Amino acid sequence: MDLSSAFERALPSPGWPLAGRHGTLAVFLASDAWSRWDDEAFTLLDAGERERVLSKRRPDDRKLTALAYACHRLLLSAVLECAPWEVPLGRDARGCPVVAGDRLLTSLSHAEGLVAIAVSPQGPVGIDIEPAARAGEMEEIAGRVCHPRELDALSALPGRQRERALLSLWVRKEALLKAAGIGMAVEMDRFEAPPDRALALPGNGRHGTATIRLFDGGDRFLAAVAAAPGAITSAWLAPAD
């Protein structure tokens, strides 16, 4: 079976991606489950995407990035009902993925064997995913991630809980920064990022508000989506055996 068919079969139902025409859609996947399509993923990419993949030094990063870009195209092609290579997917000057000539906004995250993709026709969208194991690295950067009020609130928590809360803050803030289209242009300690309420987009990128929703993947991952309020249609995608 080819990658496109496997991706289609992994979706909850054939019409499932069409939900992305009305509301926010998010998918999450682990690259090791999809590794049999590593080579094929690369063939679905355009010249710019291939160049970015080949610029990665580590083979694992090349594989993960190729899979992430291919799945990004496959999800958008399912929403837009066109072939993956016909998806007008590009990047703006800040590196933010854009779908040309369409009111669909989109966001991508890839980290250590994990991929997360979001699309929304409702306004700015940002997604971030991190492996749960990264919680152990968060303590040393707490001062750079937390707004002083968040730092105060976290100080009451015991070790493990505090590390997990810090990782949660990190993914929520990255998702909000990506929705703003500005990457790390605004320091994380300059703004707060509580979940489930409308927040002004930070910085001088896209204007408007977004609501952050947290996706707790237990021992596997933490992810967040910043998007318009309302339900997010989401799925963990694994190929059928």
Ligand X SMILES: CC(C)(COP(=O)(O)OP(=O)(O)OC[C@H]1O[C@@H](n2cnc3c(N)ncnc32)[C@H](O)[C@@H]1OP(=O)(O)O)[C@@H](O)C(=O)NCCC(=O)NCCS
Residue ranges in contact with ligand X by CB under 6 A: 52, 65, 94-97, 107-111, 128, 174, 178, 181-185
Smallest separation, CB 57 to ligand X (Å): 14
Q: Please identify the residue of the shown chain whose CB is closest to the bound ligand X.
A: 183
Q: Which is nearer to ligand X, 52 or 220 (CB)?
A: 52
DSSP of the chain, one letter per residue? Answer: --HHHHHHHHSSSTTGGGGGGTSEEEEEEEGGGGGGGHHHHHHTS-HHHHHHHHT-SSHHHHHHHHHHHHHHHHHHHHHHTS-GGGS-EEE-TTS-EEETTSS-EEEEEEETTEEEEEEESSS--EEEEEEGGGGGGSGGGHHHHS-HHHHHHHHTS-HHHHHHHHHHHHHHHHHHHHHHT-TTSS-GGGS---TTSEEEPPTTSS-SEEEEEEEEETTTEEEEEEESSS-EEEEE-----
Give the nearest distance from C-beta 178 to ligand X in angstroms.
4
CA gap 75, 65 in Å, rounded: 15
Judged by beta carbon, residue 10 or residue 45, the one nearer ligand X is: 45
Contact criterion met (CB below 8 Å) for 4 and 84: yes
The residue among 128 and 192 lying less far from ligand X, judged by its C-beta, is 128
Q: Which is nearer to ligand X, 126 or 155 (CB)?
A: 126
Q: How far is the CB of 14 from ligand X (least distance, A)?
A: 27
Which one, 99 or 182, has the nearer CB to ligand X?
A: 182
- Beta-carbon count within 10 A of 23 CB: 16
Q: Is residue 203 a contact partner of residue 177, using CB atoms and an 8 Å limit?
A: yes
Report residue 181: phi and psi, to 5°: 80, 20
Q: Which is nearer to ligand X, 141 or 240 (CB)?
A: 141
Q: How far is the CB of 104 from ligand X (least distance, A)?
A: 15
| Shortest Å, Cβ 153 to ligand X | 24
CB of 108 to ligand X, least distance (A): 4
Q: Minimum Å distance from CB 102 to ligand X? A: 17
**CB-wise, 12 or 136, nearer to ligand X?**
136
